[in-house]
Amino acid sequence: MITACETMLAPQMRAAKPVLDFSQARLLASEYGSPLLVVSRSKLAENYRTMQSCLPGVEFFYAAKSNPQYEILRTLHELGCPVDVCSAGEMNAAINAGFNPADMLHTHPCKTVQNLRDCYEAGIRLFVYDNANELGKFTRYAPQAQLLLRLAMSSQSSLINLSAKFGAAPSDAVELLIAARDAGMNVRGLSFHVGSQCLSPEDFLVALGQARQVWDDAAAAGIELEIIDFGGGFPAPYRTEVLTLEEYCIALGRALEMSFGDVNARIIAEPGRGMCADTVTLITSVLGKNVRNGTPWYIIDDGLYGAFSGIVYDHAEFPILAENQEHRLTSPCVLAGPTCDSSDVVTRDQELPDLEIGELLLVPTMGAYSSASASGFNGLDIARYVEIE
Ligand SMILES: *Cc1c(COP(=O)(O)O)cnc(C)c1O
C-alpha cells in the first residue's frame, strides 16, 4: 500500500508528449506539407511561467542557441523573456523577433573580434570571458562591457558536458577576476553551465557551492561581485521520463537558497532545452518502405541531416509515435531519413506497426538542438515551422 507520505515523496515525472494529435497533424500536413515542426505558443508560455513561479527572483535568459526560430523568439519576446546569444547571427534573429540588444546577454566565452564588435556596437553590454587572452579584445573593442567569468563545472547526471571546452578552473578564478579589473574592465559576476540535459537538480548544489567559494575569495581579494549566472541544463523528456519542471525548479531553488541565500545577488539562468524542447512536435511522413534481410525499413521525409540532427550532435533519443500504436501489431524495424547517406538512420531499436506509405508519424520534444543544427544536405529543405496556440 502506498501511504500519503510516500506519494508525496515520490518524484513527479513527466513523459514526452506531442503538442497536437494525429487528426490535427493531418490537417496541418495537408495545408503546409511535411516534414513540419509545430510549435505550441501556450506550452512555451507555460514553461516560462513555471520557471518564474517556482524560482522567484531568478531572471531567465532564453538560450537562443537551442532554437533561434522566429516563432519561438517572438513568443518569448511577447512574454517578456529576454535572450542569451552567442553570435551576431543569434543576435540578429532576436532583433528580428523584437528584442533590443541592450537587454541581451552574450555568453560565448571565446569569440572572434568580429562577433564581439558586431554585438557590442549593436548595444549588448553583458559578456562572458574565461581566459586572460580574451580581455585584450574587450579593452580594445568593448571597453564599457560588463563581464561575467565563466567557471568550468560539470555534473554527474548531465548528458552533455559543456565545460570540456569552456570555463576557467575555479582555482584560477580570482586571478582572472583581478586581471579583468586591472585591465580596467567592469567585472560583475560568475557564470557556469553544469552541462545540458542535467537530470538531477541536486548537481547544481555542488556547482553553486564552488561558485560561492570563488565569490567569497573574490570578496576577500577586494572584488565585490553582484551576478551569479547558473546557466542552463534543465532537462526535457525524450524516450525516458524526467522530473516535472515544477519539481526540478523547486529543487534548484533549494540549492540556490543554500548556496547564495545569504547574499544579495542578481541571479540569472540561461535555459535553452528546458524552455523550448517540449514545445515542438515534428510531423514526418513515410515516403517509402522496403524489407531488407527480413527487417522492415521505412524511409521518412526527415532525418539526421534535418530535425533529427539532435541524434548526432545532442545524443538525443527521440520517441517516434504512430497513430493508434497501442492497438496495432508492432515489430522491430528501421526508420531511415530521406538522404542518400546510409548512416542517415533515425532509429533501429523502436518497434512500430506496419506503416503505410504517406502515413504520418509524430515526434515530440523536437524543440531544442533539432532544426537549429539541421542542414540542407542533398538539396533537401529543412522542415518548416508553423505555430499553434
Ligand atoms: C548551450 C548553453 C545554454 C543552454 O543550455 P541548455 O542545457 O539547453 O539549457 C546556456 N548557456 C550557455 C553558455 C550554453 O552554452
Give the model's pLDDT for residue 3.
45
Long-range contacts of 205-208 (CB under 8 A, 24+ apart): 205/255, 205/258, 205/259, 206/153, 206/155, 207/153, 207/155, 208/255, 208/256, 208/258, 208/259, 208/260
- Please check whether residues 220 and 83 belong to one and the same domain: yes
Q: What is the pLDDT of residues 149-178, one digit of tens each?
A: 999 987 788 888 877 889 999 999 999 999
Ligand 1 midpoint to CA 221 (Å): 30
The answer to whether residue 24 is domain-embedded is no
- What's the 299 CA to ligand 1 centre distance in angstroms? 33
Mean pLDDT in the chain? 96
pLDDT for 8:
58
Are 89 and 202 members of one domain?
yes
Is 66 touching ligand 1 by the criterion CB < 6 Å? yes
Q: What is the pLDDT of residue 5?
A: 46
Whether residue 100 is found in the same domain as residue 185: yes
Q: Which atom of ligand 1 lies closest to the CA of 271?
A: 9
Pocket test for ligand 1, best of 270, 280, 314, 315 (most atoms within 8 A of CB): 270
| One domain for residues 140 and 246 | yes
Instruction: Specify the number of domains making up the chain.
Output: 2
Q: Which atom of ligand 1 is nearest to the CA of 233?
A: 7
For residue 310, being part of any structural domain is answered with: yes
User: What strands lie across the sheet with 186-192, from one edge to the other?
Assistant: 58-60, 266-269, 227-229, 186-192, 146-151, 126-129, 105-106, 83-85, 62-63
Active site residue 276: no
Asked whether residue 9 is domain-assigned, the answer is: no
270 lines ligand 1 (CB under 6 A): yes
Q: Kindly state the average pLDDT of the residues 20-38.
A: 98
Q: Is the pLDDT of residue 373 over 60?
A: yes
pLDDT at 263 over 90: yes
Q: How far is the CA of 233 from the centre of ligand 1 (A)?
A: 7
Helix boundaries (H) for 197-244: 203-220
Residue 244 has pLDDT above 90, yes or no: yes
Residue 310, domain CATH: 2.40.37.10
Picking from 217, 244, 277, the residue at the C-terminal end of a domain is 277
For a mutational test of ligand 1's pocket, the pick from 47, 48, 59, 66, i.e. the residue with the most ligand atoms closer than 8 A to its C-beta, is: 66
Q: Does residue 21 form part of some domain? A: no
196 CA: nearest ligand 1 atom: 7
Confidence band, pLDDT 50/70/90 cuts, at residue 327: very high
Domain residue limits at 317: 278-388
Q: Is residue 341 included in any domain, yes or no?
A: yes
Of the residues 277, 296, 321, the one at which a domain ends: 277
Q: How far is the CA of 104 from the centre of ligand 1 (A)?
A: 15
Q: 236, 257, 277 — which closes off a domain?
A: 277
* Sign of torsion over alpha carbons 168, 171, 175, 181: positive
CATH number of the domain that residue 74 is part of: 3.20.20.10
Q: Is the pLDDT of residue 210 over 80?
A: yes
Q: Do residues 189 and 99 both lie within one domain?
A: yes
Residues 271 and 282 occupy one common structural domain? no
- pLDDT above 50 for 319: yes
